[in-house]
Structure 1
Amino acid sequence: MDIGVHRPGELSAADRAAWAALQSKAHLGGSPGLANPFLSPEFTLAMGRCRRGVRIGVVHEGGEPVAFFPFQRTATGVGRAVGLGVSDCQGLVHRPGFTWDAHELLRACGLAVWEFDHLAEGQAPFEAEASGTFPSPVMDIDQGYETYLRKLRERSPKFTRTTLAKERRLGRDAGEVRYVHDECDPAALRTLMGWKSAQYRRTGRSDRFAHPWITRLVQQLFHTRSAPFAGILSVLYAGGSPVAAHFGLRSERVLACWFPAYDPAFAKYSPGLALHLHMAEAAAADGIAYLDLGRGQKEYKDSLKTRELLVSEGWVTRRHPIALGHRARRAPVRALRNAVLSRPEFFEPADRALKRMGRIRSRN
């Protein structure tokens, strides 16, 4: 393979256009997952402005770019998917029919190991070394919102009826309900991040927005616009005040759900569910094929989903001491976390303990 490794700022406009074109046509070549906005050049460029070591391996055939491999690299050759821990889709963006040798790719990129936790489906050379595969629920809206809503009523009539009724009651109690699909007010984004930080603390989870680079990343993506890509802030208002909001990323065909949150004072109205239905309606009108709700078991995802994608986690490793050491450190942590998440007898007491810690932390 003819592979060149570049810093994000070194990509030419022609390279970025070729990358975007591969994503735009991915569904026609049988790889619809490659259209995910986390695999867009804009996400990698934003990561490059917020984190060190971001690189892109560009594969050429006949002088033309046929594949793009974004990654983060340490000085010792440890590689990670770009945005590992916050990115919900990872892999190599390529033209239809392109095949590659994973170890040859790593060697060309100067990597001893490459770690991923949301590998897109269909990346066979990487999947061969995956340690686990997990569902990522989606809401299909390619046939229009009314079709989605009709099927939701057929599958979950009580859930649909209750969610819509709660939104009507919200309007009666709090004032006119108004939805803005693409809110441009930075104050609304700050409100969302404040809600989300409080939610993380309340539930005993690590507050992502306590990491300045994640805050910078979200703010940059909020201001990022191109023909196929945008950061989208969606807000549900009641009586002129925000009650629920979501920030995610949009490509030509996919709206990737990322940071949803709501004002706990309005929890009894389930404003987050109403927000997702409004998002689906507006996204369908924009020509989006589906909303990717992201890996992770949540009751609201099970209620809203129409099907599931599969994402993988694991490592691709070369014969190298650095790779062996990295995997030895990381594998037990991942195995323990996945065991807890997949077993109710482990997850439920752990979740209760985290929430108790969150309540204590919130009071201090």
Structure 2
Amino acid sequence: MDIDVYRPGELSAADRAAWTALQSKAHLQGSPGLANPFLSPEFTLAVGRYRRGVRIAVVRERDEPVAFLPYQRTAAGVGRAVGLGISDAQGLVHRPGFTWDARELLRSCGLAVWEFDHLVEEQGPFESDASRGFPSPVLDVDQGYETYLAQLRKRSPKFTRTTLAKERRLHRAASEVRYVHDERDPAVLRTLMGWKSAQYRRTGRSDRFAHQWISGLVRQLFHTRSDSFAGILSVLYADGKPVAAHFGLRTERVLACWFPAYDPEYATYSPGLILHLRMAEAAAADGIAYLDLGRGHKEYKDSLKTRELTVSEGWVTRRHPIAALHRVRRVPVRALRNAVVTRPELFEPADRFLKKVGKIRTVPSVTVKPTKT
């Protein structure tokens, strides 16, 4: 087994094609999670335009590429999954039956540690070092939208009935309601990013789009299109203007949900939920097998899902002082975050507090004019 490490711009067209071929056949070979867009070469190459230290390890057997590991590294040898913090799928893209020694791979990459927070299934040598797994809800449409809708009516009758009733109300209230599955107008993407930034601030969360590299990455992926990968902007319009939108990434069989948001003025119609149903319908017609809603507990995800995948977080380490220091620094942070997120008695008060902070942050500033003396 030979391992070569490349910078994004050094990866050959042949290697990119081999990487894509492994993804396109993954569902036939028992590893459908490897088809996730966040594991595509296009995502790694796009991140490489905005973040330093992006590398791709290519594992070869008899001069043929059999596995690809994208990662980011620091000069000290600390490695992270590409796009850690915004990527919803991470791991080694490999051929069926391929096995590897995790620490040998790290040594060849010059890494003391490799950290992940959305490790997909079927990653045995990495999974042994995962600290815990988390559910990642999925919406299956491989049997067609009508089949999915029938399952949804059976599993979540009240949710389905209410959402479809709100859609009918929106149609009655607006002169025109239409859905565009693949909107190509960059102005609408800017609208979505503005909504999402406001939502982050309103709920007391960190505004991801305040980071120039994330905004640049999303714009880059919006313009990235091939037969096997594309950035998809889906939009629900009412009265000629967008009222809900979502930007995600697509491979041949998977639509990864990423950034959904809506116009708060239309909140009474639940336009985000209507949008997700229309996305499911269009994705089914487009040959998509499932929509990956991403890790994280949200009520709407629980209502829409048909099943759950499992993603894991943790790190693989070698016996190295850098790895030990990294664990000492990161373990308390992760433990505290996970304790809050996974326990309702802690999460709900924390969520309320963040929303209060968000209200303070979004109160418009008042200019006080000096008084005359």
Q: TM-score range, shorter-chain basis?
A: over 0.9
Following superposition, the deviation at residue 340 of structure 1 comes to 0.3
2:75 corresponds in structure 1 to 75
After superposition, residues 1-364 of structure 1 pair within 5 angstroms as 1-363=1-363, 364=365
C-alpha separation in 2, matches of 1:177 and 1:115 = 45
Secondary structure of 1:287's aligned partner: coil
Q: Which string of whole-angstrom CA distances, capped at 9 and with x for unpartnered residues, describes residues 56-100 of structure 1?
A: 000000110000000000000000000000000000000000000
C-alpha separation in 1, matches of 2:231 and 2:127 = 29
Following superposition, the deviation at residue 175 of structure 1 comes to 2.6
- The residue type equivalent to 1:96 in the other structure is P
Secondary structure of 1:121's aligned partner: coil
- The residue type equivalent to 1:29 in the other structure is Q
- The residue type equivalent to 2:165 in the other structure is A
TM-score (norm 1): 0.99
Runs of 4+ in 1 over 2 A off after TM superposition: none
Larger radius of gyration: 2
Following superposition, the deviation at residue 171 of structure 1 comes to 1.6
Secondary structure of 1:158's aligned partner: helix
Secondary structure of 2:126's aligned partner: helix
C-alpha separation in 2, matches of 1:101 and 1:148 = 40
Number of equivalences: 364
Secondary structure of 1:87's aligned partner: coil
C-alpha separation in 1, matches of 2:209 and 2:14 = 34
C-alpha separation in 1, matches of 2:26 and 2:156 = 32
Instruction: Report the RMSD for the aligned CA atoms in angstroms.
Output: 0.6
Following superposition, the deviation at residue 176 of structure 1 comes to 1.4
TM-score (norm 2): 0.97
Secondary structure of 2:52's aligned partner: coil
Following superposition, the deviation at residue 306 of structure 1 comes to 0.1
Following superposition, the deviation at residue 174 of structure 1 comes to 2.6
2:370 corresponds in structure 1 to none
* Higher mean displacement: 166-175 or 25-34: 166-175
5+ residue gaps, structure 2, are: 366-373
- The residue type equivalent to 1:191 in the other structure is T
2:369 corresponds in structure 1 to none
* Higher mean displacement: 41-50 or 171-180: 171-180
- The residue type equivalent to 1:87 in the other structure is S
Following superposition, the deviation at residue 29 of structure 1 comes to 1.1
Q: Which string of whole-angstrom CA distances, capped at 9 and with x for unpartnered residues, describes residues 322-354 of structure 1?
A: 000011101110010000011111111100000
- The residue type equivalent to 1:339 in the other structure is A
